[in-house]
Amino acid sequence: MVKIRLSRFGSAHNPHYRIVVADARRPRDGGYIENLGYYDPRKKSETFLKVDVERAQHWLEQGAQPTATARRLLKSQGVRVR
């Protein structure tokens, strides 16, 4: 199954996440199919969340299942999630 989920990067105590499309069998920070955007949970800048809406919608139409957090972030950016 293909999932839309967060992949962590950044240093210790300074998390940043990529919003990625990945095979569910891959490790959290392992290889992914496509990078859809990024998220900074500490909100250090004005652009703490960026999502490629068109590509996210494409993957959802292809059957990708977002995780709970990814679903919340996608909805906040205007992506229609079932």
pLDDT tens-digit map of 3-50: 999 999 999 999 999 999 999 999 888 899 999 999 999 998 899 999
pLDDT at position 49 is 96
* pLDDT for res 45: 87
CA angle 55–59–60, rounded 5-degree value: 115
Q: What is the pTM of this model?
A: 0.90
- Supply the pLDDT for residue 65: 96
Q: What is the pLDDT of residue 29?
A: 86
**Which positions ≥6 away from 3 have C-beta within 8 Å?**
21, 22, 23, 24, 64, 65, 66, 67, 70
User: Residues 40-61: what's their mean pLDDT?
Assistant: 94
